[in-house]
Structure 1
Amino acid sequence: MDRVIDKISKINIFSNFTKGELLKIFDNIPYSVKEYSKGTLIRNSGERVEEFMILVNGEVITEMIDFNGKSLEIERVKAPDILASALLFAKENYLPVDVIAATNVILIYIEKKYLIKSFKENSDFLLSFLEDVGEKFNYVTEKLRITSFHTIREKITMYLLNLYNKQNKPKEITIPLTMDELASLFGVARPSLSRVISEMQKEGLFEKKGDKVILNNLKKPI
């Protein structure tokens, strides 16, 4: 379990706990471990979410089927991470997507009743869970807002200006996401995102160095 704890300690829900505290949590809670080979359908769209699912190893893809029967990739989730935590305590807790193993995958499952018991025994664990659900809600809200803009340039502009307003710094802002995560947030391919960022830098709108961005002449799209 030591190796597993080292991995899941990187997940937001568990990041504020020491290794000893995490070992104590998992020593007092029943859980099961399941392995899936690449290409396996882990969960069907429409299934109820009744277990807390921790992705320990590998990567999963979430997919939807459109009206023409074509599979649409919605998101890729890499370990370590939590799957569908926001649905766990919803009344209508049905998965809206299929969950498929993109690589060989290891998942830890904790039944809802045991998770509730652990929350009662450890209020910090409950608070951490609620904070993580809130952060994921904010992410989805941000994604919906950004995808309402048509061009990649508009998406980048609004994202950076929103960060500027939140971080309240003179000109330099810090981007908390990687390029892959930004591409996922914007719903675009990473090469396309990189190309537009490069074009905007050449135009002198901003300068990007690592996760730091210095705004020069960036204006809200009309």
Structure 2
Amino acid sequence: MKKYFELMREIDLIKSIKPQEIDSYLTEGSCKITQYGKNNIVHFVGEVCSKLEIILSGKVVIERIDESGNLMTIAEFFGGDVLGGNLMFSKNPYYPMTVTAKEATLILEINKDRLFSLFSDNHEFLKSYLEYVSDHTVILGDRIKHYVNRTIRESIVSYLDYECKKQNSNIIKLSMTKKALAERIGVQRTSLSRELAKMRAEGLIEFDSVSIKLLHNFLNKH
């Protein structure tokens, strides 16, 4: 239990709640700490959102499968991030996409009644909660639009542009496998490989298993 409280002290949203209060909430059952193993499903599509979940450690992703059967990673969440913050108060409080733990993850669950009590009794918590939900609702909405409306080529180009600026080089070192990159972009691995091959044939890029080199034709276009 001690390690859980150490993790909680690092999270802005929880800092306004006294440790002894959290301890009493855990004892009575209005709060709960749940562990998920790597690739465990946290929520299925259509599942009711009935509690606020604060990630203490680990990594959680929101995924969807498109009409072609491709797995698309919409968003990633880490320690300090919140699940269900805006959804649980919706008229349709159902998870629209699958939520999966991509590595061993610890989550603090707060049930709805306890959450309402915190809102009314702890104004600092309420302020932090509203700030978080407001900021991240806009970000997530933009991200979903970004992925849903783009072609495979546009998604690849967007990723390469971002990594080119981030790494400050036209030779992009891949920090993930082609399979993981395909999931990030939201296509099948074969579709990604086919599109990369087309871009190579058009003189835009060169690539191997660990890097992608952006050629002059690509750089001049973008």
With normalisation by structure 2, the TM-score equals 0.60
d(CA) in 1 for partners of 2:120 and 2:55? 24
Give the CA deviation at 1:111.
0.8
Q: Distance in 2 between matches of 1:43 and 1:148?
A: 21
> In structure 2, what is the equivalent of residue 60 of structure 1?
60
Q: Verify the 8 A CA contact 2:62 2:100 in the aligned structure 1.
A: yes
- Pair 1:194 & 2:163 matched: yes
Q: Aligned-pair distance for 1:70?
A: 2.2
Shift of 1:12: 4.1
| Residues 12, 132 of structure 1: 8 Å contact kept | no
Tell me which residue corresponds to 1:4: 4
Structure 1 residue runs without a partner (length 5+): 151-186, 200-222
User: How far off is 1:130 after superposition?
Assistant: 1.3
Counterpart of 2:22, as a letter, is F
State yes or no: 1:70 paired with 2:70: yes
Are positions 1:46 and 2:46 aligned together? yes
Amino acid at match of 1:195: C
Query: Cα 1:11–1:71, aligned 2, differ >3 Å: closer, same or farther?
Result: same
Q: Is the 8 A contact 1:49 1:88 kept in 2?
A: yes
**Number of matched residues?**
162
Cα shift readout 1:87-143 (whole Å, capped 9, x = no counterpart): 121111111210111111111111111111222221221222112111113434665
Alpha-carbon deviation of 1:64? 0.5
1:22 to 8, 18, 36: 18
Change (3 A) 1:147 1:100: closer
**1:82 maps to what in 2?**
82
CA 1:140 to 1:42, structure 2 compared with 1: closer, same or farther past 3 Å? closer
Asked if the contact 2:36/2:101 (under 8 Å) is kept, the reply is yes
Q: Partner residue of 1:135? A: 135
1:212 matched residue in structure 2: none
| Separation (CA, whole Å) in 1 of partners of 2:88 and 2:23 | 22
Larger Rg: 2
In structure 2, give the amino acid aligned to 1:119.
F
Identity of aligned residues (%): 22
What are structure 2's unaligned runs of at least 5 residues? 151-156, 170-222
Structure 1 segments (4+ residues) deviating >3 Å: 8-12, 140-150, 196-199
